[in-house]
Amino acid sequence: EAGVAQSPRYKIIEKRQSVAFWCNPISGHATLYWYQQILGQGPKLLIQFQNNGVVDDSQLPKDRFSAERLKGVDSTLKIQPAKLEDSAVYLCASSYSGGGNTGELFFGEGSRLTVL
């Protein structure tokens, strides 16, 4: 079974530039999450999708971050314009929505962003 795919693995940009990250979840996983992981911290949820609908985006900085999952499969997270404090690893995860609340998250390898 293929895992969660993310690209690019690494990105270096200047502040005020834009960047986009892509994620393809495990086939059949209806729920998709984007997390931000700053060095030395735990993952922080940015947005959660159920199919192509947003379940929670309360911690997404909407003035600069946007995310979409138009066909309920793959997803794109965009940052425009980037700030220095956006330097982090952006993790995509997916989970199977059946089985109540016991299903675990499956993570991609992450996209490491450095903003100079």
Q: b/e string for 54-78 if b means 16 or more Cβ within 10 A? A: eeebeebeeeebbbebeeeeebebe
Q: Kindly state the smallest distance separating residue 43's Cβ from other proteins, in Å.
A: 5
Q: Kindly state the smallest distance separating residue 63's Cβ from other proteins, in Å.
A: 23
Return the number of the residue (8 or 18) whose C-beta is nearest other proteins. 8
Question: According to the binding rule CB under 8 A, does residue 104 interact with other proteins?
Answer: yes
> Which string of x and - marks every residue 47-76 that binds other proteins (by CB under 8 A)?
-x------xx--------------------
Nearest-angstrom CA–CA distance, 94 and 68: 15
Question: According to the binding rule CB under 8 A, does residue 100 interact with other proteins?
Answer: yes
Residue count of the chain, please give it.
116
Do 113 and 89 touch, CB atoms closer than 8 A?
Answer: yes
Candidates 21-29, 68-76, 80-88, 108-116: pick the segment binding other proteins (CB under 8 A). 108-116
Return the number of the residue (30 or 81) whose C-beta is nearest other proteins. 30
Nearest-angstrom CA–CA distance, 78 and 103: 27
